[in-house]
Structure 1
Amino acid sequence: MANYLSPKKKLWTGRSSENDLYLHEKVRCLPFTKVPSVKDQFAILGYCCDEGVRLNHGRTGAKNGPEAIRKALGKMPNHLKAGQYVTDVGDIVCHTDGLENAQHTLGESVAELLEKHTFPIVLGGGHDIAYGHYNGIKKYLLSKNKRPSIGIINLDAHFDLRNDVNGPTSGTPFFQIANENEPFNYLCLGIRKDANDKQLFQLAEELGVTYVLRNTFRIQFVKEINTWIRAFMAKVDYIYLTIDLDGFSSAYAPGVSAPSPLGFSPDVVLESLETITSSGKLISMDIAEMNPKYDVDGLTAKLAASLVHHIIHSEFP
């Protein structure tokens, strides 16, 4: 693949121990061709692309997000079981004017990882990551003669339902998915009225999108939120989880493409993740819009790494 880079072991550093106390000691760096087919393993794939952000008039720099998240994650403690590992399989890169090629390669890569029984964790990169990622899940399920019943759960301030008449951007992925898939099962958590115009709200209603506004996506409403999440998941067979870091308040995530002080907080997100992972339906996930160019003290990279850390240490039924 012309836009694929092999993993770099030098990114995974931290304290050394004799008992695998830190995650960098549990990471294997392997190209796709050498990834073993073993259940209960996690595969990290980078999506080094911010072309979609540029086309969506956002501030660029997210193409370096995967590296920053890896560096933060490697230093964290390891609580995995003795036989569990995290496999870094490298990066998909976006060459000049190559957004659609990068999305296509991402989809092919996700399908291949799922075929090897690994759980893909894709690190972005702009939120155009979602279109390629979804199509990779869909391709894998179709290869198994399964009619894809995929529910998308997006933790985000934005619907990302902009029309792609002028081509794909980081703001169009779910519009593209909706146009190509029936039914379209989409749950958005953390939507803000100051981040989506009235036409986007109208389109969301027309497409049957389920969403929770930021004012409600708070820890004091966690019981109601989890009830809505469970009701959504009951309608589908598989869940694709995508977390846009710009949905968080800039107090927690300053290093994103579109920051805002009015975003949500990590506590309600962690509670939501518990509900999602315990469903037994989560098939793959990604984290989008990590922009180290604007990060402060590595806060955003650490937040993204902590979310990944939480996922890999969750109990999957």
Structure 2
Amino acid sequence: MKNYHKSNPTIWAGRKSDRQLYLHEKIQCIDLNHSFSIHQENTNFALLGYACDEGVRRNQGRIGTAKGPEAIRKMIAPLSNHFDNTIKIYDVGDITCPHGNLEETQKDTSKCVSTLLHQGLFPIVLGGGHDLAYAHYNGIKAYSPGQTIGIINLDAHFDLRTPASNGTSGTPFYQIAKENGDINYLCLGIQKESNNRELFKTAETFNVTYLENHEFEKENQTQVYDMVLNFIQKVDLIYLTIDIDGFTSSIAPGVSAPSPLGFSANIAFDTIKKICLSKKLVSVDLVEMNPTYDIDNCTARLTARLVYHIINSLS
């Protein structure tokens, strides 16, 4: 793959021990350009970077998300390791977009996701712009032909814009729906202020299920869980995508489109755990983390804790 770069082991640094007390001591780097084998009896996770913000640029957003994967990795590295030895975590490198050819980058990403799934690895893809979702979905689809894929998106935005010519970070779910003739799409955290009337009409056309941000709250958790579990029951597989700009900007300032009225960590973490326990989750991504606008790495730290929470919930 022309846009693939192998993992950088020097990112995985921190306090040293002789007992793998920290994740940087546990995580192993793999070069996907070379053959590798893993033990299928283990629970295997793969961290793949989508170092691309071309879709954000096309969507007139704040660029900088291409540096998100590295920033997130650096905040994962010092976290304490409480995982069993049968839990294996691999850093498999990055897909990049050096010349603005988003479509080529997306094709490489799809191939990579499909390869990881076929190898028995659970992909956790670190973005990058939300244009990743189009590539990620197609990678899952290539791995599982004939199975229904449900998309659960924690986000302030539908990302259902109609492409003017090429795709952007605001168009991935429209592209998925148009190419597949249908879409199983649940979006949690939608903000009216951030989605115009036409986007709500598009969501209605595609039968999108959603909760607005004032409904996606801890106090409303019973309705949230019921909606999520009912959605999961209707599909074969779940693809979870988490847009960090859906969180309130007090805890996530380093994003492409910050919001002062986003959702809280409590309801997001609890909902993610419910999804993980469904046994249908096959792949996850976390997008729109932008270190250029972060404060004291707090957004990168939040994203790193989400990664930890997902691995812990699935282990």
TM interval, short-chain normalised: over 0.9
Name the CA distance, whole Å, in 1 between partners of 2:187 and 2:39: 32
Name the CA distance, whole Å, in 2 between partners of 1:89 and 1:252: 28
| 2:283 counterpart letter in structure 1 | S
The residue number in structure 1 matching 2:5 is 5
The residue number in structure 1 matching 2:53 is 50
The residue number in structure 2 matching 1:251 is 250
- How well do the aligned residues superpose, as a CA RMSD in angstroms? 1.0
The residue number in structure 1 matching 2:305 is 306
Give the number of equivalent residue pairs.
Answer: 312
Name the CA distance, whole Å, in 2 between partners of 1:38 and 1:270: 29
The residue number in structure 2 matching 1:38 is 39
Q: 1:84 to 1:77 in 2, by over 3 A?
A: same
Gaps of 5+ in 1: none
Name the CA distance, whole Å, in 1 between partners of 2:45 and 2:243: 20
The correspondence of residues 25-174 of structure 1 with structure 2, limited to 5 A, is: 25-32=25-32, 33-39=34-40, 40-142=43-145, 147-174=146-173
The answer on whether the counterparts of 1:38 and 1:118 sit within 8 Å (CA) in structure 2 is no
The answer on whether the counterparts of 1:162 and 1:200 sit within 8 Å (CA) in structure 2 is yes
The residue number in structure 1 matching 2:200 is 201
Q: How far 1:84 moved relative to its partner?
A: 1.9
The residue number in structure 1 matching 2:186 is 187
TM-score (normalizing by structure 1): 0.97
Say which is worse superposed, 108-117 or 181-190, in terms of deviation.
181-190
The residue number in structure 2 matching 1:24 is 24
The answer on whether the counterparts of 2:182 and 2:206 sit within 8 Å (CA) in structure 1 is no
Question: Identity rate of aligned residues, in percent?
Answer: 51
The answer on whether the counterparts of 1:121 and 1:284 sit within 8 Å (CA) in structure 2 is yes
Cα deviation per residue 1:102-131 (whole Å; 9 max; x = unaligned)?
100000000000000100000000000000
TM-score (normalizing by structure 2): 0.97
| 1:283 counterpart letter in structure 2 | V
Name the CA distance, whole Å, in 1 between partners of 2:293 and 2:35: 35
| 1:3 counterpart letter in structure 2 | N
Name the CA distance, whole Å, in 2 between partners of 1:281 and 1:126: 25
Gaps of 5+ in 2: none
Cα deviation per residue 1:38-72 (whole Å; 9 max; x = unaligned)?
33100000000000000000010000000000000
